[in-house]
Structure 1
Amino acid sequence: MEMCEDKVYMKLAIEEAKKAERLGEVPIGAIVVYKGEVIARAHNLRETEQSAVAHAELLAIEEACKKLNTWRLEEAVLYVTLEPCAMCSGAIILSRIQKVVYGATDPKGGCAGTFMNLLQDNRFNHQSEVVQGILADECGTLLTDFFRQLRDKRKALKKLAMEE
């Protein structure tokens, strides 16, 4: 039952990732679920906002805190299409999110079990349950396709510039 529920919520995070992609952003989406209700949705906005901290997870956490009028999200679950980075993992720890469910792993920067595991490090005062690999292929394909198109576009522009 829980796996099925995780897939339903991950599909909502994927919808958010697709919104980011339509804006030319890296397609990462996140949602926060509290007591069975989606209370926050966000997608990556780093380029749009020209902000290094406009990650989907941080924006979703901020929205959830405002909605609940507290910084403690102890009964909340964060769904995100890509494994959280160090910065986002820090925010997850500080906001005391109970559980993190992510799709694609990030071997170069994932801090929820791949590169390192900040979310379950018992040196912190809070640890989150971590579930990985939910709709991983779909989440990973979004990212792979985005970066392939970006590289192709850059190659085409470079070729065009050389022809002039």
Structure 2
Amino acid sequence: MGKEIERKFLIHQPNWDNLTKPEGKLLRQGYLLTDKTKTIRIRATESQGFLTIKGETIGATRLEYEYEIPVGEATELLDNFSVSELSKTRYEIGFNGKLWEVDVFAGDNEGLIVAEIELESEDETFDLPDWVGKEVTKEEKYYNSNLRVRPFKDWV
């Protein structure tokens, strides 16, 4: 069974701006199905495609199954079947033995930056980089599937 344990945080903007970052990867992400208990997502980068099925989040845990698919097929699925999509640039940053994925959103979600860390258990301890701020793991408005319905630009 596939399981994802993930915690989400906002970033501390001044420290993020001063951080030397690796090259980011542009992601195009769309949804074929989304409701409270499940989502089916397609993601495409310049060279890869993915089909991801996720279950309902309970705490910081949910079922997740992800399969690599040809990038051309991912693009066709996005173009022809996605009910909505978003785009973002992802930065992968290692810190004290853990991988942080930082998403800088574009389009209607421009201005939002979210850092995520995947864990082995919900009670696993880890160090926070100085560019990580408030935790938003349990705030559903930060779920990518919700950002496509109620984008960051509409929050104010």
| TM-score scaled by length of structure 2 | 0.27
User: Which one has the bigger strand percentage?
Assistant: 2
User: Which one has the bigger helix percentage?
Assistant: 1
| TM-score scaled by length of structure 1 | 0.26
Q: Which is higher, the Rg of structure 1 or of structure 2?
A: 1
